[in-house]
Structure 1
Amino acid sequence: MTAGENPDGAWQLTAELKPKGPDAAAAGGSGPAGADPAAPAWDDAADDLRATVKWMVAAFAAVGAAMFAKGFVTTPKLSWTDDTWQLSAAWVVGAAGVVGVGVLIYQAVQLLRPTAFELGNLPATYIAEINANPRFYLPSDAGTLADYLATLRALRAAATRWSREVAVRQQALAAAQKPARPDAAAVAAAELELSRATVRRDSVQQALGVYSTVRETLLDRAGYWAPDTRLNRGGRIMLAAGIVAAAGGIGYQLLLASPDDDSGDGGGGGGASAPSIGELVRSDTPAGDALWSQLGLDDCQADPAAARIAVVVASGKGTDADPYVVSTLPTATCRAATFTVVDDVARVSVPEQLSIDYEPAEATQSP
């Protein structure tokens, strides 16, 4: 505050108002000087959440790839002819597991996808939370998000207007000081108006700074709110998809790890798990006749009138994918030969081992 005498001899009292500086603000506050409260790291929290989901999906994908790929590498020799139900079940279970993995990855992608928020496109649930707790989210003079937005727009307009006013007052002061002998009263009046405009501008900018900080906090929190809400909403779906994927992978492995091995059918054409003595019966087809003539199997027949010989059955099921592997029993007239044969050419029968349970009759003494 200064006092001075103008050229007319009258005294003039002027006061210069200045915004509170950092030191004064620190002195007037309750905390230590220069210690600003740390803002919540919502961006870091959102990044951590997305990183957790990313690594979880990567682990599921690696385990799923290992489980489903292992079936193709370690599966025994299967054919659609002999193992139709087994391969069909494995296909269905494996497809269900793949669908489960796909749903899990889709849900995770929705969480990992970044979303850009502005005050005009905040989630409805987030806006409801803000309006329900305005003292936690908003400045003290804003009761709802709509009130906050209206005040923010007004402060932005006022900050622009007072910045222009300060520029005008600076030009007026420069014009008053331009003459060789400036008018002291005009210069003092211009300085006073400039000080008033500067105080107004600084006051509006400080208020705008508070509102801008709140805006950044709201947007940062929205960046965490969105994936967190989607995770809470889609958690059950992800859990169910994970269970389906795990069950599909395990079932797929079990179905392919245990081929359906049929035992013999008693009278015709059963597969043998170990070498055993069986009987090879020629079919009445050109292929059967060619087999008998080219290998000279007539010499191996016990009965020249019956086209059947004794053979050792090593393995096979009699199909094109898994033919029988048989060997003749060498004799004086039958030479040893090992060959493969299918049911269309000749039938192989392997006797089954049967267990007979009986109770011995009680001995009675004759009179």
Structure 2
Amino acid sequence: MITKIWSKEDLNDAAAVIKAGELVSFPTETVYGLGADATNNEAVSQVYLAKGRPSDNPLIVHLAQQTEVAKYVTEIPAIAEKLMAHFWPGPLTLIFKANKAALAPLVTAGLDSVAIRIPDNQITRDFIRACGVPLVGPSANTSGKPSPTSATHVYHDLAGKIAGILDDGETGVGLESTVVDVTNPDKLVILRPGAISQEEIEQTLGIIMNMDQYLVNQEAQPKAPGMKYQHYSPNEPVILIKQAEDWQAAIDYYQAKGEKIGLLANQSIVSLYENQIVASYDLGQAGDIETAGRKLYGGLRYFSETPATLILAEAFSKKGFGEAVMNRLEKAAGFHYFKRG
């Protein structure tokens, strides 16, 4: 299969491919999604096949407008209405009780719930309208690897496996959406942190949120994407560095073990140690967590093109958007932090 690259002028061509039951990667403000008709079970099965994704992992349904939500759920709690009004379109996914008859069985992975969002990208919403059907849209990458934030990343992982890619440049947020379970309105739970923080949701609703641990083991079925322990992982092992004084110790330790070190950190740290390592990727200025999040997946992917055999990565504060950044980094590293001695 030849994977085509389309621009926004080719929306109708890309939509025709979706209608024919094939796969198209599309941009969003978070990461690039792998689109298929969410009402076509055969098309959805090809998403799992192309990604190498376990079929017990449910998919997020992407819609063009809020009025469509009622078709695919059995109820919309008042508290969900408030979240939708405040944050949609945007990087927020809500999990509702599913109207399973309206969706392909594989979308919900056997669960009684469905995850839905409306992306904050006009091209994406126009594309969904042109398709005339809801789209599943898991990240358009090999399952478990860093998500794609550009059409180039998608092509690297899925060329020859999908019909085409709708190219809209690099994504703005760079991390997947925040996922909130609203199936029990009296006990809202964040299943995956993202650009919309717990604090923002609490301020909007005037309540204190319940926090999930964001994890299930490798055998258990997740209720939302990205909840497995090992996820977002590059080919090289990742070790997190928490304390500033640990950078030199970690470089010395792993070089003594024969590792070729890659550094994933802010500009100041990279400039301090770049003469001692084989590769580096800066995540922006120190303290700029939004830039770090936007560049994170590109950085994790970068090292596969270098001699690096191990990545030392900066650990960030878990305040605000840092919660989402560290959620991805800890899973990429398998929660491995450098410890002296």
TM-score > 0.5, shorter chain as reference? no
TM-score range, shorter chain: under 0.3
| CA radius of gyration, larger in | 1
> Hey, which of these two has a bigger chunk of strand by percent?
2
